[in-house]
Amino acid sequence: MRKIAVIVAGGSGQRMGSTIPKQFLMLKEKPILLHTIYAFIAAFADIEIVLVLPEEYLPKGRELCNHLPIKINIIKGGNTRFQSVKNGLHFVEHFNSIVFVHDAVRCLVTPQLIKNCYEQTIKKGSAVPAVTATDSIRFVIKEDESEVVDRSKVRIIQTPQTFTSEILLPAFEQTYNESFTDEATVVEAYGQTICLIEGDYDNLKITRPIDLLIAERILEEHY
C-alpha cells in the first residue's frame, strides 16, 4: 500500500506580521516546514511526499528540500485550498494508496498520530483527527440572540486528514463549492462517511506570533 503525504503550504505571513509565508519561518533553528516533513519521514520510511507551494516560493521550496533523505515532489498551489490539494493529488494513483493531507504549519504533528491515521484508514477508509472543544461554545441564531452548545459534542478538526485514494480522488473531481473548508467537507459532499480519530492538543496550527512561542515550549518539553 503506497503512502503519500500531500503537505499544503499555501499560506502567507500576513497574520504573523511576516514578509515571508509562515511555513518558512524558523522554529528551533529549523524552518517550520522541515519539522512537518521530518515527522512524516519518521512515521514511515517509505512515505512519498508532495509539497504544494505558492508559485513564487517554488524555488525556495526546492532549495529547502534538496538535501532531504527522500525525494520531495513540489507543485504549484491554487487560489483555494481545494485547488491546491487537487493539484497535489496529481501524483496519487487511483488504487492502493493511503493519502494524508496535512497543513504544513501543523509542525508538531507526531509520527504516532500519523501512524494512527494510517491504521484507521486501512480499516475504515478515512481518519480525520479531532479534539474535544474545551472552551464554552455558543451558537449565534441572529443578532443579540444565541444559545449554548454542549461542548462535549463539539470537535475541533485537525490534520492529517487521511483517506484511501479510491475515496479521495473522485471526491476532488467535484465542482468547487465555498463550503469546502477542508478535505472532510469535500469527501462528505461526495456522499462518503467521515470517520474521526482522536487528535492531539499539541498539534496546533502556527497562525500568530504567540503560536511560535507555544510551539517552541512544546518542542523543549518533548525533546
- Start-to-end Cα distance in the chain: 31
Topology adopted by domain 2-222: Spore Coat Polysaccharide Biosynthesis Protein SpsA; Chain A (3.90.550)
What is the per-residue pLDDT for 16? 62
Domain coordinates of the chain in residue numbers? 2-222
- E strands in 145-220: 145-149, 155-157, 161-164, 196-198
Residue with cell 475504515: 124
Nearest to 102 by CA among 159, 44, 21: 159
Going from the first residue of the chain to its last (223 residues), give the mean pLDDT of each consecutive group of 10, the final group possibly shorter.
93 62 93 97 97 95 93 95 96 91 97 98 98 96 95 97 97 97 98 98 95 94 77
pLDDT of residue 222: 78
DSSP 3-state of 79: coil
Cα–Cα distance list, 121 to 17, 23, 138, 199 (Å)? 37, 27, 32, 14
Tell me 91's DSSP state: G
pLDDT, residue 208, reads 92
